[in-house]
Structure 1
Amino acid sequence: MAGRGFIGLIAAALALSGSAAAVDRHEGVATCSGSTCHGRQLATGKTVRQNELLTWQDETSIAGVHSRAWRVLLQPRAKAIAARLNIGAPETAAECVSCHGDATPHRGARFRMDDGVGCEVCHGGSTRWVASHIRVGVSHADNVRAGMTPVNDVRTRAGVCLDCHFGSSKPGQFVTHRVMAAGHPRVAFELDLFTALQRHHDEDADYVQRKGRAGGVKTWAVGQALALERALTLFQGRGMAGSFPEFYFFDCRSCHRTFSDDPAAKLAIRNNPARPFMLGNVVFNDENLIMLGAAARAVDPALAARLDVQAKAFHAALGQDRAGALKATAALAATARALAARFAASSFSRAQTLAMLRDVTSGAAAAAATDYQGGVQAVMAAETLLAAMVADGQVGQAQARAARPDIDRAYAAVRDANAYRANDFRAAMARVGGVGR
């Protein structure tokens, strides 16, 4: 490494780590890239692979999207969005860099914005732990006490991911309806899928001994609960944009539907038993709420019943007055937090996982997933739950392979948001739900 060299950097970090007043600076990806750390060309490390940087930088894989995130801002699409929003160059605008890069003001000598979403965006500023976490005898808990973000904890990880993949109260980390109108893609979140796509390490026996392992079902369920909680919490503070609601929180296709003056034209509205509100109202984007109901019914029927009552009250309140809507929002958010805690403390049995799978493929959750957003979440859930049962030996490989064609058909039915094939989707999902019988 250039400059002081890797040994010099470690020595400096050790000196800083002894100071209680040390700022948790982001020292940059180069700090983690030494051949004795995470920058090897081959996965030959004794405890961890030590080639994690290669995965993070992979130009051909979705696992490398974090490293490419800032460079996206240099492309014509980003330039056009920024021009429409009148925010200047997107590669320096806080509205873009806060998620496509690392907006920390505390930057070390090796920090580079063009690293994109670097190691420390997720793992925390490394000044106090960059040296200690490679020392013999230092535990993961020691590193966390020194400032490392414990993303092995599924609730912590959900919070970190949601900051950019849904939004937060931090400056620049909220994709408003105005930003989407300028051309930004719709934002969606599913924690287990995001975890699988961005995993740069092996969860082997050593990892499990040091840090534990949540597993796919728990990660999915906690992610659904905290995605809903985040949406509802932000809605309480950012629910209005001038004299209009902040439409970011609502189902896009409440408004963006094909319409016609032809009296013979068929209305696109679909009846939904989970949404008691007047026709014509915009619909809160309830994709995570629908999936959360399936998880709750399998694990905690009492909390599930509360969730169902509060969800219906929430949908109804949105069509009445703001004070009532905010009260219903707060109640539903509290139940989502309680379910996240319940799931985090649970071990999911085969019967519970199968119950969730049946719910999202042909049960109450499937009946509520009448629109594109719910359909996308349902097919991701089915794949997650099935993969988790295979990994835990609860379903055989042959059964999983037999379900694959129908999962692919379900994905095909939701591939185009403007051409959602609801009937094809439901038929394929119903067949997937037969797994394990």
Structure 2
Amino acid sequence: MVIPAFAVLILLLPEFQQPAFANDPVRYEGVASCAGSTCHGRSEGNGKVVRQDELLHWQEPSSASGAHSRTYDALAGRRGNRIAAELGLGSAADAPACLGCHATFVPPMQRGDRFLVSDGVGCESCHGASSGWISSHYAVPATHQSNIAAGLRPLERPDVRASTCLDCHFGSDRPGQFVSHRMMAAGHPRISFELDLFSTLQQHHDEDADYVRRKQRTDSVQLWAVGQALAIRRSLDLFARQDFGMEGIFPEFYFYDCHSCHRRIADGPGLPRRFEVNPGRPIPFGMPPYNDENIIMLSAVAQVLAPRQATAFDNAARGFHAAMGNGRVETVAAARRLDQATGALATELAQGQYGPDTAFVVIARIAGQAISARFTDYEGSAQAVMAVDTLLNALVKQGRITLGAAAGIRRDVNRAYAAVSDPNDYNPPAFRAALGNAARSVAALQ
């Protein structure tokens, strides 16, 4: 799997927002509208401008690149039916609570003649409704900017891509795009996501000279950092809303770190305590901690790329965790302060300089003593190994290390992955050792 900074427009602007369906006259034309052999439906990627075999990658049944085409079918499986039955949703394949992420789910009046919900997460889920640009985006006079003006979503912008992906891979306030704790209790898997790594798994284009001319080259380190920042902002925004942050008299446990509580339970005087004190979470003993996987990663990158904002961000994060012991009102206020600190940090990251050694330094920081001490729970640790994987891939793409050299240390990265392969067997010291070995292997190539 897997330099000049992009002129990313996150700055102090609000997170990129999808257009509201109710006031949107555009139509979604469906996957079949993109599937011609002279368009994106070739069996071999040999097009002059784009590969033209994009549909083949989207449908690939045996790899992660075809995951989006399989989302609707998952609803009809044993797990999907069980979840729907437990929640009283009827058929999962017809339930809006499921279709918001398992399909390109738009109102009937916006569906073109070739549109099928059963296509799953189709082209337009990511690229936007195509009615305004499908007939002109390939024409000789068309440019990338004219296509964007006609409604094509500019996914080369890290903020736009992050916002689009987070809608399903974290959640949004739109119908059917939030996985609640009740859904997880019924059997829905916990969401785990990292923007650059998942983008690599789904990539169906080549970043050749033509792509760079039209859209600029992707900076994977920046994409990773922006993804971490916007994941935090999305989390805090939803958490601060009463209708998402609470479920009856209980907090919405989706926002908390599942595996700090969901560990094997047994009784006996000699059982060792599995809880570890986390220096980034000043919360009372025994309280469930907020899932801070992205907070930990952003703290690491801030210390490298935005040291002027790092202290304020870390203080706001600690204040947010501490407020959990005081009450809902205090915690929401602290969430707003952390969101502001995250926005300021995002601005700094957008304007920063990403040099040839940036990825090396960030990997070392993630596995260093100050940050690795915070890997006490499964979720943050899984995010950390995905980060190391992403940044290693960035070094290959930048030409800092060879593909062969990266393959040579894949064994160490895979050991770190193995340490988080099963949350029931997660062992913090063993994970920290595996992550440290992987980081040292990367550092040796610098």
TM-score by length of 2: 0.91
Letter in 2 for 1:414: V
1:332 corresponds, among 296, 319, 338, to 338
In the TM superposition, 1:108-127 aligns within 5 A as 108-127=112-131
* Unaligned 5+ runs, structure 1: 1-20
In the TM superposition, 1:6-405 aligns within 5 A as 23-105=25-107, 106-237=110-241, 238-397=244-403, 399-405=405-411
Residues in 1 aligned to 2:210 and 2:85: alpha-carbon distance in whole angstroms: 50
What are the superposed Cα offsets for residues 164-207 of structure 1, whole Å, 9 maximum, x if unpaired? 00000001110000000000000122001110111111111110
Residues in 1 aligned to 2:96 and 2:137: alpha-carbon distance in whole angstroms: 32
Letter in 1 for 2:203: R
Residues in 1 aligned to 2:208 and 2:182: alpha-carbon distance in whole angstroms: 44
Q: Secondary structure at the match of 2:217?
A: coil
Larger radius of gyration: 1
Please, which moves more after superposition, 424-433 or 304-313? 424-433
Residues in 1 aligned to 2:122 and 2:410: alpha-carbon distance in whole angstroms: 35
Q: Secondary structure at the match of 1:219?
A: helix
Structure-2 residue corresponding to 1:13: none
Q: Secondary structure at the match of 2:137?
A: helix
With over 3 angstroms needed to count, the CA separation of the structure-2 counterparts of 1:321 and 1:46, relative to structure 1, is same
Residues in 2 aligned to 1:399 and 1:365: alpha-carbon distance in whole angstroms: 26
Following superposition, the deviation at residue 314 of structure 1 comes to 0.4
RMSD of aligned alpha carbons: 1.5
Following superposition, the deviation at residue 398 of structure 1 comes to 5.6
Residues in 2 aligned to 1:22 and 1:162: alpha-carbon distance in whole angstroms: 21
* 1:419 equivalenced with 2:419 (yes/no): no
Structure-1 residue corresponding to 2:14: none
What are the superposed Cα offsets for residues 365-421 of structure 1, whole Å, 9 maximum, x if unpaired? 211111111111111111111221122122345653442221111111110111013
Answer yes or no: is the 8 Å Cα contact 1:399–1:436 preserved in 2: no
Q: Secondary structure at the match of 1:350?
A: coil
Letter in 2 for 1:363: Q
Structure-2 residue corresponding to 1:436: 443
Identity of aligned pairs, percent?
Answer: 48
Residues in 2 aligned to 1:22 and 1:102: alpha-carbon distance in whole angstroms: 15
Answer yes or no: is the 8 Å Cα contact 2:197–2:389 preserved in 1: no
Answer yes or no: is the 8 Å Cα contact 1:94–1:172 preserved in 2: yes
Answer yes or no: is the 8 Å Cα contact 1:66–1:118 preserved in 2: yes
Residues in 2 aligned to 1:143 and 1:329: alpha-carbon distance in whole angstroms: 38
Following superposition, the deviation at residue 430 of structure 1 comes to 1.3
Residues in 1 aligned to 2:154 and 2:403: alpha-carbon distance in whole angstroms: 33
Residues in 1 aligned to 2:423 and 2:221: alpha-carbon distance in whole angstroms: 26
What are the superposed Cα offsets for residues 250-296 of structure 1, whole Å, 9 maximum, x if unpaired? 00023212233311111110111111111011100000110011111
Letter in 1 for 2:264: T
Letter in 2 for 1:27: E
Aligned length: 417
Letter in 1 for 2:61: E
Answer yes or no: is the 8 Å Cα contact 1:366–1:378 preserved in 2: no
Structure-1 residue corresponding to 2:8: none
Answer yes or no: is the 8 Å Cα contact 2:245–2:251 preserved in 1: yes
Q: Secondary structure at the match of 1:309?
A: helix
What are the superposed Cα offsets for residues 2-33 of structure 1, whole Å, 9 maximum, x if unpaired? xxxxxxxxxxxxxxxxxxx9821100011111
What are the superposed Cα offsets for residues 124-176 of structure 1, whole Å, 9 maximum, x if unpaired? 11111101201112111111111111111111000000000000000111000
What are the superposed Cα offsets for residues 190-236 of structure 1, whole Å, 9 maximum, x if unpaired? 00111011111111111011011232111111111111111111000
Residues in 1 aligned to 2:404 and 2:66: alpha-carbon distance in whole angstroms: 31
Answer yes or no: is the 8 Å Cα contact 1:379–1:429 preserved in 2: yes
Answer yes or no: is the 8 Å Cα contact 2:59–2:66 preserved in 1: yes
Residues in 2 aligned to 1:99 and 1:278: alpha-carbon distance in whole angstroms: 36
Answer yes or no: is the 8 Å Cα contact 2:171–2:178 preserved in 1: yes
With over 3 angstroms needed to count, the CA separation of the structure-2 counterparts of 1:139 and 1:363, relative to structure 1, is farther
